Amino acid sequence: MTDKKCICQETQHHFLKRAFDRLKLKGTQRELLLSSFRETRVTVPVTLCHNGENTLHTFQGYRVQHNHARGPFKGGLRFHPDVNMGEIWALAQLMTWKTALVDIPFGGAKGGIAVDPGQLNDTEREELTRRFCQKMAPIIGVHEDIPAPDIGTNPQVMAWMLDEYSKTHGFRTAVVTGKPVELGGCAGRLEATGHGVAHLAHRAATDMALAPGQSRVVIQGFGNVGSHAAIGMADKGYKIIALSDVHGGVFSEKGIDISLALAHVRETGALSGLVDSAPVSNAELLELPCDILIPAALEATITCDNTDAIQAKLVVEAANMPVTHRADDQLQQRGVVIVPDLLANVGGVLASYYEWVQNLQQFPWERELVLSRLEKRLSYTYDTVRDLAQEQQVDMRRAAYELAIRRVERAIRLRGF
Ligand code: NAD
**Number of domains composing the chain:** 2
pLDDT score, position 4: 53
> For residue 302, what is the DSSP state?
B
Counting beta carbons within 10 angstroms of the beta carbon of residue 119, is it exposed (0 to 12), middle (13 to 18) or buried (19 or more)? exposed
Q: What is the pLDDT confidence band of residue 396, given thresholds at 50, 70 and 90?
A: very high
Confidence check: pLDDT of 6 > 80: no
Give the domain-ending residue among 339, 362, 394.
339
Angle, to 10 degrees, between the axis of helix 396-414 and the axis of helix 27-34? 100
For residue 337, name the pLDDT band (cuts at 50, 70, 90).
Answer: very high
Q: Considering the chain, what percentage of its residues have pLDDT values greater than 90?
A: 96
Q: Which of 74, 98, 110, 179 is catalytic?
A: 110
Task: Flag whether 22 is in a domain.
Answer: no
pLDDT tens for 235-286 read 999 999 999 999 999 999 999 999 999 999 999 999 999 999 999 999 999 9
Same domain, residue pair 245 and 333 = yes
For residues 141 and 252, membership in a common domain is answered with no
In the three-class reduction of DSSP (H, G, I as helix; E, B as strand; rest coil), residue 257 is classed as coil
Of 311, 339, 367, the residue at which a domain comes to its end is 339
Residue 138, sorted as left (phi over 0), alpha (psi -120 to 50) or beta, turns out to be: alpha
Radius of gyration of the chain (CA): 20
- Rounded Cα distance between 205 and 212, Å, is 8
Q: Is the confidence at residue 94, as pLDDT, over 80?
A: yes
* 204 assigned to some structural domain: yes
Q: How far is the CA of 320 from the centre of ligand 1 (A)?
A: 9
Atom index in ligand 1 nearest the CA of residue 349 equals 42
| Segment 16-37 mean pLDDT | 95
Q: Is residue 351 part of a domain?
A: no
| 110 shares its domain with 72 | yes
pLDDT digits (tens, 9 = 90+) for 145-158: 999 999 999 999 99
Helix then strand count (H, E) for the chain reads 14, 12
Nearest CA, atom 36, ligand 1: 319
Instruction: Give the count of alpha carbons within 13 A of 119, CB side only.
Output: 12
- Would you state the pLDDT for residue 1? 41
Q: Render pLDDT for 55-79 as a digit per residue (tens, 0 to 9).
A: 999 999 999 999 999 999 999 999 9
Q: What is the mean pLDDT of residues 38-53?
A: 94
For ligand 1, whether the C-beta of 348 sits within 6 Å is: yes
Q: How far is the CA of 298 from the centre of ligand 1 (A)?
A: 6
* Atom of ligand 1 lying closest to residue 221 CA: 7
Cα 11 from Cα 14, distance rounded (Å): 5
Q: Separation of 99 CA from ligand 1 center, angstroms?
A: 20
Task: Report the separation in Å between the CA atom of 179 and the middle of ligand 1, taken as the mean of its atom positions.
Answer: 18
Judge if 144 and 210 occupy the same domain.
Answer: no
Please tell me the distance between residue 108's alpha carbon and the centre of ligand 1 in angstroms. 19
Q: Which atom of ligand 1 is nearest to the CA of 192?
A: 40
Residues 6+ apart with CB under 8 A from 83: 60, 62, 112, 113, 114, 115
Query: Is residue 185 assigned to a domain?
Result: no
Residue nearest to atom 13 of ligand 1 (CA): 246
Active site residue 74: no
- Ligand 1 neighbourhood includes 72 CB (under 6 angstroms): no
Task: Look up the domain containing 153 and give its range.
Answer: 37-174
Separation of CA 416 and ligand 1 centre (Å): 38
Same domain, 335 and 206: yes
Which atom of ligand 1 is closest in space to residue 148's alpha carbon? 40
Any ligand 1 atom below 6 A from CB of 246:
yes
Tell me how far apart the alpha carbons of residues 300 and 8 are, in angstroms, rounded to a whole number: 7
The whole-chain average pLDDT of the chain stands at 96
Sorting pLDDT into bands at 50, 70 and 90, what band is 3?
Answer: very low
Give pLDDT tens digits for 200-229.
999 999 999 999 999 999 999 999 999 999
- As a whole number of angstroms, the distance between CA 401 and CA 73 comes to 19
Q: Residue 132: what pLDDT?
A: 98
Report percent pLDDT > 70 for the chain.
99
pTM above 0.85, yes or no: yes
| Residue that terminates a domain, selected from 339, 374, 399 | 339
Task: Return the H-helix or E-strand segment holding 138.
Answer: none
Which of 245, 306, 323 has most ligand 1 atoms within 8 Å of CB, for mutation? 245
Residue 224 CB–ligand 1 contact under 6 Å:
yes
- Which residue's alpha carbon is at the smallest distance from atom 35 of ligand 1? 319
Rounded to the nearest whole angstrom, what is the distance from the C-alpha of residue 287 to the centroid of ligand 1?
19
Q: Which band of pLDDT confidence, cut at 50, 70 and 90, is reported for residue 2?
A: very low
* 3-state secondary structure at position 210: coil
Interval 364-371 mean pLDDT: 98
Answer yes or no: is pLDDT of 144 > 70.
yes
Decide whether any atom of ligand 1 lies within 6 Å of the 227 Cβ.
no
Cα–Cα nearest to 230, from 316, 152, 306, 150 = 316
- Domain-located, residue 299: yes
Residues 148 and 196 in one domain: no
Q: How far from 215 is each of 138, 206, 293, 344, CA to CA, in Å? A: 50, 11, 11, 19
User: C-alpha 161: how far from its chain's center?
Assistant: 20
Res 371: pLDDT: 98
Q: Are residues 291 and 212 in the same domain?
A: yes
Q: Is the CB of 111 under 6 A from ligand 1?
A: no
Apex 110 CA angle, 396 and 62, nearest 5: 145
Mean pLDDT computed over 110-135? 97
Same domain? 118 vs 203:
no
Q: Which residues are paired to 248 by β-bridges?
A: 245
Residue 42 in any domain: the answer is yes
DSSP 187-224: TTHHHHHHHHHHHHHHHHHHHTT--GGG-EEEEE--SH
Are both 166 and 200 inside the same structural domain?
Answer: no
d(CA 302, CA 331): 10
In this structure, are 117 and 254 located in the same domain? Answer: no
CATH of the domain at 214: 3.40.50.720
Within this chain, do residues 112 and 154 fall inside the same structural domain, yes or no?
yes
**Phi and psi, residue 188, nearest 5°:** 95, -10
Asked if residue 374 is part of any domain, the answer here is: no
Task: Tell me: do 169 and 47 sit in the same domain.
Answer: yes
Closest C-alpha to 9, from 92, 113, 87, 82: 87
**pLDDT above 70: residue 5:** no
Question: CA–CA separation, 215 vs 290, rounded Å?
Answer: 7
Most ligand 1 atoms within 8 A of CB, residue of 96, 298, 321 to mutate: 298
**148: CATH:** 3.40.50.10860
Contacts of 400 (CB under 8 A, 6+ apart): 97, 101, 340, 342, 343, 385
Whether 106 is in a domain gets the answer: yes
* Range scoring the smallest mean pLDDT among 28-32, 121-125, 195-199: 28-32
The answer to whether residues 234 and 212 touch, using CB atoms and an 8 Å cutoff, is no
